[in-house]
Structure 1
C-alpha cells in the first residue's frame, strides 16, 4: 500500500510539473489564473527531484520516471536555480573567436532624487553616478533614468547632469529615450550609452509613452559587425513591498491586503504579457545579432520570462550559480532584472553587483562573444 501510494504521488507530481510548465505559456490576458499555476513550478520541480532519491532507495527502476522528467525539464530548473559548479570562466581576450562586448544593465531608481530616497549630501546619488561613469562596460542600459540638463532649476548643482557624466565625459555616445520633463526642466526616461558608434536607434511605446517602454540601438563593433541592443522596462507589479510582507506575515494582514494585491498583480501581469508579446514580434523581424537588457518586473517562472527564454539565452541561467537575485529589498530570492543573448552570442560571464546597493535593484554585468557566423553590415 505504501508503494502504491508513493507511485500515485509520483505520477501526480510529474503531472503537476507538466501542468505548471504549460501554465507558464499562457498569457494572463487569455486566462489570468494560469499565472499562479506557473508560480508553483519551483515546488513541483523540487518534489520531483526528491522522488528520484526516494525511489533509488526503495525501487530503483521506478526512479527512471522522475529522472527522465528531470532531464527533460532541467532548463526550467536552471531558470530559478542555476548550477554550473565546474565551469571555468573563459579568457578575456577574443582569441580566435569574434569580438567581446561587456554590457551593464541597471534600474537606477532616478538616482534617488526624490526626497524620501535622498541621504545626507546626496551620497548615494553621487556614488551611483560615479560608479557608472567609471564602469568599464562597453554598453550601459539604464532604466528609470533621470537627468538635469544645463539650465535646470535645481539646488543640487551638477550632481544630476547624468547624460554628460556617464556619456560624453566617460567617452560614450548617449541615447536618451525621454518620457517626461517636469516644470523645473528635469528629464525622466531610459538611457543607453555605448563606447561603440550608435548607427541607428528607436523607441517602442506600449501605448502611451511612460517609464514602461522599450528602446533599441544598433551598435557597430570594431570588427564592423552591427549588433542590436534592446533595453526595456515592463509594467511594474504595482504592489508595495510592505503590503506583500504584511499579507504573508499574518492572517489579519492577508485579509486586509490580499484582495487588493491580487487585483494589482492581475492587472500588472496582463500588461506585462501583452508588452512582451509586442517586443517578441519586433525581435523576430531583426536581422542583427540581439542582446536584451530588461527590468522584467516578473520572476523566472512567468509567461514574460518564458517567451524570452524560449528564444534567447538567459545570461544567468547559462553561466551563473545560485538564484542570482537582483531585487534589493525585503523580498528574498527575487530575480526580476535579466540579460538575454541571441544564438549568435556566447555568454562568457555574468554577475550581479551586490556591492552596489544604491537602488532597489542590483546592477548586472555580462560579457558576450560574437560568433564568426554573425551577419555583417
Structure 2
C-alpha cells in the first residue's frame, strides 16, 4: 500500500493539522470566540503526539519523518512554553557577565495568610513569609495579593504585618504600594513593588474598577544610569475552587454536579483575562524603556493571555529553565500560572522557582537579568 494511503500517514497528517489549529486557537481572544480556549488547551497533547509520529516514521520510513519533525522544529518555541528543555545550559559566571545585572523576585504572597482560615499556630507561616521576602537578596520585588498594616496601626497581631516597613525601609528598599482597599482598621490590600534602586516614576493601571486584578508599574534608575520599567500585574482569577475542579474529574457524578458551573466560571474568567492582557499589551507597546514583567496570569502557557505576552517578550522559564516549572502550590499538578517576562534588550541569565517556600498557594520565583547595552532615557 502506498505511504500516502496508509492509516499511519493519514493519522500523521491529522496530527499536524491539529497542531496548527491549536496554535491558531491560542491567538483568538475568548471575547471574540470563547470555545477557542479549549482548542488551545489541547496544544501540548498535539505537540507531543506529533513528535512521537516523527519518531515512528524515523523507524518505519525516514523520508516521511521530515514532515512531523519539520513541524516540530518550527513549533519548538510552543513546546518550550509548557516543557522547557535546556539540559546543557550553564549559568554564566559572575566574572564573565557584562552589563548591568538585575535580580527580580516575583511572588503572590496571598495577603501573608492574614485571614482566619489561612492562619496557623503563632502565625508561623505569616512570620516566615514576611521574613523570607524581607531578607531576599533580589534587587526588585514584585508582590501580588499584598497586605500591610501601616506602622501605628492598632492590631492584636503586633507588628507581624508591618510589611511595607519590614520589606521596605528596614531592608534598605524603596516601596511603591498600589492600594485597592483600605479597611476600617487602616490595613491596606493591593500589590507592591520594592526596589534597592531609586524609583523615579510610578503608576497604576486599573481594568475598570480598581480591584486586586490590576497592574502597576515603576520606572527604576539602575547604577548604570539606565532607566528600566518594571510591571507587576494580577489578571482575573479563574474563579474556581480547587476542590470543585478535582471533584469534577474524579467521578462522573462529580463532573455532572460541578462541570457546568466550572465551565461557566472558566469562560467568564478567560474573557476578562484576555481583555485585560490586550489592555496591557497596548501600554507595553508605548513604553520605550527596557521592561521586566512579573505576573500572576491565572492562566496556563497554552492560552491567549500567555501567547500575547510571548509574542513581545522572552519568558524567563522558557528561556533558561528545565521541566514544567509549575508555580501553583496545590492539588492540581504541573500548573504554571506565575511568570516573568523580559523585553528583547535583556538576557535571561537564570530563573528558578522556590519550592522550599510553601507558605502561599503560589511558589515564588526569582530571575537574574542582564542589560548588556546602555539604553538612553526617553
Same fold (TM over 0.5): yes
Could you tell me whether the CA contact under 8 Å between 1:147 and 1:163 is conserved in 2? yes
| SS of the residue 2:224 aligns to | coil
How big is each residue's C-alpha offset from its partner over 1:269-296, in whole Å with a ceiling of 9 and x where there is no partner? 0000000000000000001000000000
How big is each residue's C-alpha offset from its partner over 1:165-214, in whole Å with a ceiling of 9 and x where there is no partner? 00000000000000001111111000000000000000000000000000
What is residue 189 of structure 1 aligned with on the other side? 190
Query: Of 10, 18, 21, which residue of structure 2 is paired with 1:19?
Result: 21
Task: Give me the whole-angstrom Cα distance separating, in 2, the residues matched to 1:91 and 1:347.
Answer: 13
Task: Give me the whole-angstrom Cα distance separating, in 2, the residues matched to 1:55 and 1:157.
Answer: 67
**1:1-377 maps to which residues of 2 (within 5 A)?**
4-93=6-95, 95=97, 97-372=98-373, 374-376=375-377
How big is each residue's C-alpha offset from its partner over 1:289-344, in whole Å with a ceiling of 9 and x where there is no partner? 00000000000000000000011000000000000000000000000000000000
Aligned-residue RMSD, C-alpha: 1.0
Q: Note the C-alpha offset of 1:53.
A: 1.0
TM-score calculated relative to the size of structure 1: 0.98
The size of the alignment, in residue pairs, is 376
Q: Note the C-alpha offset of 1:94.
A: 6.7
TM-score calculated relative to the size of structure 2: 0.98
How big is each residue's C-alpha offset from its partner over 1:55-107, in whole Å with a ceiling of 9 and x where there is no partner? 01111000000010000000000000000000011113474x21000000000
Task: Give me the whole-angstrom Cα distance separating, in 1, the residues matched to 2:319 and 2:376.
Answer: 23
Q: Which runs of 4+ in 1 moved over 6 A?
A: none
Could you tell me whether the CA contact under 8 Å between 2:226 and 2:375 is conserved in 1? yes
Structure 2 residues not aligned, in runs of 5+: none
Distance 1:9 1:373, change over 3 A: farther
Distance 1:2 1:147, change over 3 A: farther
Task: Give me the whole-angstrom Cα distance separating, in 1, the residues matched to 2:155 and 2:370.
Answer: 43
| SS of the residue 2:94 aligns to | coil
Task: Give me the whole-angstrom Cα distance separating, in 2, the residues matched to 1:151 and 1:349.
Answer: 40
